[in-house]
Structure 1
Amino acid sequence: RGPRCSQQEEPPFTKKEQQEAIEHIDEVQNEIDRLNEQASEEILKVEQKYNKLRQPFFQKRSELIAKIPNFWVTTFVNHPQVSALLGEEDEEALHYLTRVEVTEFEDIKSGYRIDFYFDENPYFENKVLSKEFHLNESGDPSSKSTEIKWKSGKDLTKRSSQTQNKAGKKRQHEEPESFFTWFTDHSDAGADELGEVIKDDIWPNPLQYYLVPDMDDEEAEGEDDDDEEGLEDIDEEGDEDDGEEDDGEEDDGEVCPR
């Protein structure tokens, strides 16, 4: 075989043509971005429209929830992310929580507010605790909240870093902060996980978390079922033994002569 000729293929398009293509791609991309922005504005209008339509149903739901004792504390305790923030004393305080409301501002992009309504309780004077999240025109996030007026010696944000649960065992993780510390924490308003969880996960359908079965109850029911099955087995064995004894008694009987 002869030596291979190393021949370099010419590019299909010249550098000038490639540069022109890049410029046209940029122009097309600008049109795509413009349409995306237009879509976002229209989606925002639709969301605002349906937010107003949902309000009467939220109000009706709140009225029905008010008939169920401890609805909100149960909902929070059953939520995996929120429950991780709750100590025993937090749970006790949240037993006085009667209503939760999430209100998105007229311009949804500008923020929202969460209101917590409480009955008279031994922890603080406030009837309503609120936290607002704002996003200004430049896109900078901020938050503000109600100052909690703690009763003497009841400030849960100053409690010990470790508390004990109702079973008398220490929780598996340390709790350096109370749930109520959230009302005074404005360090990262743009990434407030608890606020987002309440607004986007719990508020749309709190019933799904209220109805989560208690694992302890499930285990207890399982044990009861096992016990019942064991008793049924014993009863069945007893019946079989009785049957065998009856058969024996019949065999022992005397045969009468004809």
Structure 2
Amino acid sequence: MATPAKVTKAEGENNHENADEQADKEQQEAIEQIDEVQNEIDRLNEQASEEIVKVEQKYNKLRQPYFQKRSDLIAKIPNFWVTAFVNHPQVSALLNEEDEEALQFLTKVEVQEFEDIKSGYKINFNFDTNPYFENDVISKEFHLNDSGEPSSKSTPIKWKAAKDLTKKSSQPGKGGRKRNHEEQESFFCWFTDHGDAGADELGEVIKDDIWPNPLQYYLASEIEEEGAGDADEELDEEGLDEEEDFEGEDEDVEGEEEDEAGEDEGEEDEG
């Protein structure tokens, strides 16, 4: 039987190095191929974004007549917008009592997305003549520049004498459902706050939550009251059922006692 040829140490090391080089080469080729595939994915994502923007632009135009019709109908309901804001958990936390009084003159809220959708939006607040400021419309705009840097600007509020709510500290609003701070900052300070436009939560809440369906927040308190009423009715019904059950048990006990009494009388008669 032939003896297997012995592999020298040097040859073993060379074979190991060749295997490592081959593995490194295959790994590098795989990385390059992954990069090519990723470029294709990115290209499709960019194409999808362009298509999505076109669809958004199309339906944004289709929605406008309905937004206008909704605004015309809302104008017939007194205090619609202030009620919707007060019923919204995030917005209500920013309102003090004087803010709520000023917002009773708010007749229309309108969100306008810019034509290209991606570069920003504008929120218009329309007011009736009021004792606080001269403006009929107060607006705040949010922009994204070409480099994606966010910024904002707003209409200067023309406050009437001694009526500037941003320079006052108010007591918590009705129901005591405000912040824990001793001094409640005014909602109207939001119009002059341009420090971090990219993290403006109030603007996003109005645009993405309230504006698409403000009716749900206007009706929120009524829905809660109806829910509470239904719960009370259920409790009342349960109470009545328990009383009826209890009365039924009493009748059964009385019937058993009468039967026992009749049996005792019968035994006495037999005796």
Q: Shorter-chain TM-score: which interval? A: 0.7 to 0.9
Paired residue for 1:50? 59
Give the structure with higher Rg (CA). 2
If each structure's helix is expressed as a fraction of its own residues, which one has the higher value?
A: 2
The alpha carbon displacement at 1:213 in A equals: 2.2
- Out of 217, 220, 234, which is 1:209 matched to? 217
1:32 corresponds, among 32, 36, 41, to 41
Correspondence for 2:149? 140
Runs of 4+ in 1 over 6 A off after TM superposition: 226-229
Are 1:111 and 2:94 an aligned pair? no
Change (3 A) 1:18 1:56: same
- Report the 3-state secondary structure (helix = DSSP H, G, I; strand = E; otherwise coil) of the residue aligned with 2:221: coil
User: Which of 176, 180, 198 is matched with 1:173 structurally?
Assistant: 180
Q: Distance in 2 between matches of 1:227 and 1:51?
A: 47
- 1:72-91 equivalent positions in 2, closer than 5 A: 72-91=81-100
Q: Is the 8 A contact 1:163 1:170 kept in 2?
A: no
Query: Which residue pairs with 1:21 in the alignment?
Result: 30
Q: Does structure 1 conserve the Cα–Cα contact (< 8 Å) formed by 2:134 and 2:158?
A: yes
Q: Kindly provide the CA deviation profile for residues 160-211 of structure 1, in whole angstroms up to 9, marking residues without a partner as x.
A: 2x513335x5845225421100100000111111111111111111111111
State the identity as a percent: 74
TM-aligned CA deviation for residue 158 of structure 1: 1.2
Q: Is the 8 A contact 2:141 2:154 kept in 1?
A: yes
Secondary structure of 1:198's counterpart equals: helix
Aligned residue pairs: how many? 228
* Cα distance in 2 between the residues matched to 1:14 and 1:226: 73
**1:96-245 aligned within 5 A:** 96-160=105-169, 163-166=171-174, 171=178, 173-174=180-181, 175-213=183-221, 217=225, 221=229
Q: 3-state DSSP class of the match of 1:14?
A: helix
Identify the residue that residue 92 of structure 1 maps to in structure 2: 101
CA distance in 1, matches of 2:90, 2:114: 25
TM-score, length basis structure 2: 0.75
Give 5+ residue unaligned stretches, structure 2: 1-15, 245-271
What's the secondary structure of 1:108's corresponding residue? coil
Tell me how large the CA RMSD over aligned residues is: 3.0
Alpha-carbon spacing, 1:16–1:103, altered in 2? closer, same or farther (3 Å) = same
Ranges in structure 1 where 5+ consecutive residues have no aligned partner: 1-7, 237-258
TM-score where L is the length of structure 1: 0.78
CA contact (8 A) 1:163 1:171 kept: no
The yes-or-no answer on 1:61 pairing with 2:70 is yes
